[in-house]
Amino acid sequence: MKSVKLKATAGRTAGSGVLNLQGNLTLDCAEEILRFLREGAKKYKDVRLVCTQVAALDLSFLQLLHSYNTYQASRNADFKVELNLEPDLAQLIRTTGFAQWVDSGARPN
């Protein structure tokens, strides 16, 4: 089922923004999420991505995170991620090698 909610708001400092995602962060919604991230990059230099009420998440979303992180780094811009996941899903993400997105709230090394 394709269902994702997207909302962008200005951050606390000039040039920063908060991009909020809710729902299914999956291949079904990847194009919509990609457009949203691109719009955010045009509008804001520094971005904080906040994901709440995540119903589903798959590798396509993690690939988008990785690509967006690389893009932000290439333009010397900040990118922080807050993935608020159910404990079981968070543990799955950790054990598959993506703990940096779940635990740190910041750009991985």
- pLDDT tens for each residue of 16-71: 999 999 999 999 999 999 999 999 999 999 999 999 999 889 999 999 999 999 99
Domain ranges of the chain: 4-104
pLDDT of 4 strictly over 90: no
- Can you say whether the dihedral through the CA atoms of 60, 68, 29, 16 is positive or negative? positive
Let me know: does 5 contact 30? Beta carbons within 8 Å. no
User: Under CATH, domain 4-104 is a member of which superfamily?
Assistant: STAS domain (3.30.750.24)
Give the pLDDT confidence score for residue 68 in this predicted structure.
95
Give the pLDDT confidence score for residue 109 in this predicted structure.
43
